[in-house]
């Protein structure tokens, strides 16, 4: 088992590529979708290829989706808030959200700067 610990340091301003200036911190997004868990899982699976491509194009570090008792949960880890925001505005993602007809009232979002994360492989 290999353990990787993120110890990113902010690079000089001219070397920061897609990271929030002077932070170097990862960014966690959590979305809780309320509704029929089976229907939400079906929608998730139907659009996972497109959404994975959006994440990959914007530097996504980790993604997890899970059916819950009250709906569906999505957790994403990004290099910074800039990549998260860019992915959120990606036309492919916006198109998927329109097609799923999920009401914004069904979604609760949380956003957090990450103090530390470990990826175990």
Q: What is the pLDDT of residue 12?
A: 35
Q: What is the pLDDT of residue 79?
A: 96
Give rounded-to-5 percent helix, strand, coil for the chain.
Answer: 35, 30, 35
% of the chain at pLDDT higher than 70: 80
At 29-87, the pLDDT tens digits run: 999 999 999 999 999 999 999 999 999 999 999 999 999 999 999 999 999 999 999 99
Q: What is the pLDDT of residue 24?
A: 60
Domains, in order of start, for the chain = 25-120 (3.30.70.100)
91: tokens are 């036309």
| pTM (two decimals) | 0.77
Q: What is the DSSP string of 30-50?
A: EEEEES-HHHHHHHHHHHHHH
């Amino acid at each position: 088992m290999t353990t990787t610990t993120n110890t990113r340091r902010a690079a000089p301003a001219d070397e920061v590529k897609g990271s929030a200036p002077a932070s170097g911190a990862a960014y966690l997004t959590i979305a809780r979708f309320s509704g029929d868990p089976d229907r939400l899982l079906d929608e998730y699976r139907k659009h996972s290829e497109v959404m994975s491509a959006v994440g990959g194009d914007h530097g996504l570090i980790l993604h997890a989706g899970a059916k819950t008792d009250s709906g569906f949960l999505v957790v994403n880890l990004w290099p910074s808030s800039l990549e998260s925001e860019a992915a959120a505005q990606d036309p492919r993602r916006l198109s998927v959200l329109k097609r799923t007809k999920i009401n914004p009232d069904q979604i609760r979002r949380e956003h957090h700067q990450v103090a530390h994360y470990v990826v175990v492989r």
